[in-house]
Amino acid sequence: MTTGIIWIVIGIILIISELLATSIVAVFLGVGALVTGILFQLGVISAFSSQLIVFSVVSIATLLLARNKLKTWFIGFTKDQTDAQSKFQEELGERVTVHKTFEGGAGRVVLNGVQWDARSEDELEKGDVAWVVSHDGIHLTVSKQKIK
């Protein structure tokens, strides 16, 4: 496999991996890799240092210029309050069980039988009980102290 094809394959893998993650960064690295591979295949660039420069510049440029616009495509948005949003407000103050020990302030909890990524300033071990303090998209913030 030529270097150009390797860049293109890496780019496709990174873009596809964005479907599994919600960071919205891998897609820009994928675009950088695709552009690098295409330019290499066309003979526009050849030296490895040139490949790295093109990859870096394209990845950073697309990240800075397009991330906010593409974020709504991957994450979505709502224009009005729905029953689901008001229902979630009812979950604030609810009891959760720690499913995965928190490391660096991040772990997993179970709320109503569903696992959630969670953040906490408290040290929480698997099996501990915590309380929902707030939510930010798909992440819960939990605490050892029950909110009132």
pLDDT in tens, 109-147: 998 888 899 999 989 999 999 988 887 878 888 988 776
What is the spatial distance between Cα 133 and Cα 94, in angstroms, rounded to a whole number?
Answer: 8
- The tokens 């974020």 sit on which residue? 71
Residue 80 has pLDDT above 60, yes or no: no
**Encoding tokens for residue 141?**
């913030």
Residue 77 has pLDDT above 60, yes or no: no
Torsion of CA 35, 37, 41, 47, to 10 degrees: 100
Name the pTM for this structure: 0.47
Domain spanning 83-143 has what CATH number? 2.40.50.140
Pinpoint the residues of the chain covered by CATH 2.40.50.140: 83-143
pLDDT in tens, 83-102: 444 445 556 778 899 999 99
Listed in order, strand segments (DSSP E) in the chain are: 95-103, 106-111, 114-119, 129-136, 139-143
